[in-house]
Chains A and B, each alone.
Chain A
Amino acid sequence: AQTVTQSQPEMSVQEAETVTLSCTYDTSESDYYLFWYKQPPSRQMILVIRQEAYKQQNATENRFSVNFQKAAKSFSLKISDSQLGDAAMYFCAYVPTYGGSQGNLIFGKGTKLSVKP
């Protein structure tokens, strides 16, 4: 079975500092997508960043970047220059490329990120 594990239930970071959220996953597939979603108190899931497994280059989106280690099945999220608006639940998610759909995601349990002013 495919699983996603987030081992940090809560993390805290000082405003303007950098924080890294961890995620590991288990799959026998070779082609898949990995995602980080943000869920603020408004409850709406917002896509932060996406990584295709066949791409060796780590994805980046402005202050957000990932460290994708395919052999280790690790997919961490780094948030640089943290802002108060980054405070939210962050979910790591996985979907296989074949037989799956980006609407059929497997999520981890989430990491609650607090940002201190």
Chain B
Amino acid sequence: DAGVTQSPTHLIKTRGQQVTLRCSPKSGHDTVSWYQQALGQGPQFIFQYYEEEERQRGNFPDRFSGHQFPNYSSELNVNALLLGDSALYLCASNLRANTEAFFGQGTRLTVV
């Protein structure tokens, strides 16, 4: 049983560019959440998708957007990249609310 998988594992982008990160949830899970983890910090909640809709959102600008597909996989898009967007982006999945969230290994984004 594959757990939560994220791609790519690393990438480097230039300021002003756009990036798309991908997440496949654990088998049987229908809810996907995205987090940003800056160096030396705890993860910060970006948003959560359930039934292909954004259900909850943290304090992140509109440059951060997402999508969930019918197979429950998800994408995180960031437009107009800033140096401060450099971070580890974590995806977590669970089955609806209040069941254990399983995390992927993250995508390390570096903006230069």
Residues of A within 8 A of B (CB): 4, 33, 37, 42-47, 50, 91, 93, 97, 100-110
Contacts and interface: CB of A to CB of B under 8 A. Distances in A.
A101 B104 contact: no
B20 to A, nearest CB: 20
A44 B103 contact: yes
B66 interface: no
A107 B42 contact: yes
Interface in B77-110: 88, 90, 92-94, 96-106, 108
A99 to B, nearest CB: 9
Nearest 6 pairs of A and B residues by beta carbon: A107-B42, A103-B33, A45-B103, A101-B97, A44-B105, A103-B101
A87 B104 CA distance: 19
A10 to B, nearest CB: 11
Contacts of A100: 97-98
Given A43-B105, A104-B56, A109 B41 contact: yes
A103 B95 CA distance: 9
Contacts of A103: 31-33, 48, 92-94, 97, 101
A102 B42 contact: no
B90 A45 contact: yes
B12 to A, nearest CB: 17
25 contacts: A33-B98, A43-B108, A44-B106, A45-B43, A47-B102, A101-B33, A101-B56, A102-B94, A102-B98, A102-B100, A103-B31, A103-B32, A103-B33, A103-B48, A103-B97, A104-B45, A104-B48, A104-B58, A105-B43, A107-B42, A107-B43, A107-B44, A109-B40, A109-B42, A110-B40
A105 B42 CA distance: 10
A88 to B, nearest CB: 13
Interface string B21-38: 000000000011100000
Nearest to A110: B42
